[in-house]
Homo-oligomer: A and B are copies of this chain.
Amino acid sequence: MKDHKIVNDPVHGFINVDDKLLLDVLNHPWMQRLRRIRQLGMTNLVYPGAQHTRFSHALGAMHLMQMAIQTLESKGVDITKEEAIANMTAMLLHDIGHGPFSHVLESSIVEGVSHEEISFLLMKGMNEHLDGRLTPTLDVFSGKCKPFLHQLISSQLDTDRMDYLKRDSFFTGVTEGNIANERIIKMLNIANGELVVEAKGIYSVEKFLIARRLMYWQVYMHKTVVAAERMLIKILSRAKTLAMQGEEVFASPALKFFLYNKVNANDFGTEETIRQFTLLDDNDIMTAIKVWMSSSDKVLSSLSTAFINRELFHIELSRQPFAPHRLQMVREAINKKMGIPMEMMEYYLLSGQLSSKTYTVGNDRINIMFSPTYICDISEASDIFNIQALGNIDRRFYLCYPKAVDMD
């Protein structure tokens, strides 16, 4: 009874967790912390249903891993109990290093350290708490395992992607992003020790790639979401600038730690940084921004107020870079209409570029198996896709500024 838990997931139905190690990981405070970090940051400003957390995603990805392993076993693939648990634990933990609004944080108050690196540090730390029982899991991440086991946790068709596409589709209500995980998983197999999809699954894989692309531009890079995230970066940068100048900036102790200290990759090695980091979540950020609405710093207060009340900046997307004189025109308008001094312009004129790839042609492939001896990459197997285009990076340039500045 103690070693068994059933969780009700609106996406996959009942999820069973019936292994001691899985339960110990699930109950660890660092894991519980993911309950307080939204999977899609501020996407809820556009899709109000998108409040789901990294915790539910981790559970879902673990569940799909279990299904994938059962499918492979039913096809005669040899997987030990320990390997199965290691892979399932890996899915629970794969995002453990995410902070609140991760990509935002990495562009504002933390420097030069990715969430993947932090994940690895936290897993090593948790491994100590759990008497080394996570060593097989860490090995899977490092690739010290059968190749297909690593591919299941990290490749273009891993259960991470399968869960988040379906989950994000479910909670945003963008039904077209819904993918048929069950079907793809049923068609997984192993050939020459590598993960492959059986040939009759080719249309499902095509559909998976198209759904990913659709979610990318319709949700992940939705222009209003981009505007909100860029504003959030500027808010946190401003707060950090003020803090580093010695100004008093309201924050919870954990957030203060990251505002008042330069924190880079090396620092994450220290116990104190880890402690503070694992106390941080979406709540600290949102609470602080609400208080900053009444900051004496005009930049901080105006950006925070606009953000909290959802008076988001206007954003333009373009396939061509914006011309320098265009940017200058906007700057002048901001200056003139809003009285913002030119030296503060970096907080009001936000520009840059977005990019995505539908599929990476290269080492990390989705292999389609026509027969045990005829296996090829989806980009070759599918006659519908423009192989070149599939691997291309799809770029958009954005230009973002206060709505008060009417440029139309």
Task: Give the interface of A toward B (CB within 8 A).
Answer: 6-11, 13-14, 27, 29, 32, 35-36, 38, 44-45, 47-49, 51-53, 55-56, 59, 170-176, 178-180, 182-183, 186, 200, 203-204, 206-207, 210-211, 213-214, 217-218, 250, 252-254, 279, 281-284, 286-287, 290-291, 308-310, 358, 383-387, 389-390, 392, 394
Contact = CB atoms under 8 A, between A and B. Distances in A.
Given A14-B182, A176-B179, A281-B286, 16 more contacts: A7-B48, A8-B172, A8-B173, A9-B48, A9-B49, A9-B173, A44-B53, A48-B53, A51-B52, A207-B210, A281-B290, A282-B283, A283-B290, A383-B389, A384-B386, A384-B390
Contact of A386 (B10, B51, B283, B385): B385
Nearest to A255: B287
A6 B46 CA distance: 10
Please give the count of copies of this chain that the complex contains. 4
Contacts of A286: 36, 281, 283
15 contacts: A9-B49, A10-B173, A13-B182, A14-B186, A35-B44, A35-B310, A49-B56, A175-B183, A176-B203, A176-B204, A207-B207, A207-B214, A283-B283, A283-B290, A383-B386
A15 to B, nearest CB: 9
Contacts of A6: 186
Contacts of A48: 7, 9, 35, 53, 55-56, 59
A60 to B, nearest CB: 9
A210 B173 contact: no
A27 B310 contact: yes
Contacts of A390: 384
Which 8 A-B pairs give the minimum distances between C-beta atoms? A10-B173, A386-B386, A51-B51, A203-B214, A283-B286, A10-B49, A8-B173, A287-B287
